[in-house]
Every structure is written in C-alpha cells, then in structure tokens.
Amino acid sequence: MSALPAEFADLEPFAGRWCLPTEQERYSTRLASTMEDMQAFYDAVVPRAVDCMEYLEALPFDALPEDATNLLHLLYSMIQVSFPVEVWRQPRIPDTGSSAFDSFTEPVP
C-alpha cells in the first residue's frame, strides 16, 4: 500500500524515511542524513511542493486521510532540510558544536 496519495507516487521512494510525524524525528533524521541524501530528497520535493500544498488545501485540515497526513509530514521534512541544502551545506547549523534543538510543540495535524 502506498504511503502517499496516488498523485504523488513519484515521491513514494522518500516516504519511508521522511514522512515523520514529529519535529524531533525530522530533526534527528536530518542530522543522521548525508548531504547527498538530503539534496536528492529536496530536489524531488521542491518542484512538487506547490502541487502538494494545493492538494492538501482542498481537504478538510482537521480530518486529513492518512496518505494526506503523510504528504504533509513529507513537506515538513522538506522544510527541515531546506536550510542545510540551500544555505549551510551541512546537516548541522554552522558553529553550534554539539548543541541540540528540542521542540515541545508540534504543528497540527
């Protein structure tokens, strides 16, 4: 069974790794990823991001089906890797040493 809506089957190879429900999981995955992995993910999702958002905006946000929720989580992960890919060229924020980021609230849904 597909994790994402059929319209986004081309993004399915990234679903298992990047459809993550929490900020901490997304951040941890980013830190554990190579730049090559993040770049490939970013390059696949960014051109489809507007299509993804339009698809999600047509659904009731408080009652998204599971495949749409996974798509939303995929977008959240794309945002998580955008600065490392676009600006820093490394998974960690430059000059932060071993500091970590912990989020205690999550976007809804």
Question: Which H, E and C letters describe the chain, residue by residue?
Answer: CCCCCHHHHHHHHHHHHHCCCCHHHHHHHHHHCCHHHHHHHHHHHHHHHHHHHHHHHCCCHHHCCHHHHHHHHHHHHHHHHHHHHHHHCCCCCCCCCCCCCCCCCCCCC
The pLDDT assigned to 9 comes to 97
- List the pLDDT tens digit at each of the 109 positions of the chain: 799 999 999 999 999 999 999 988 998 999 899 999 999 999 999 999 999 999 999 999 889 999 999 999 999 999 999 988 887 666 655 555 565 656 666 666 6
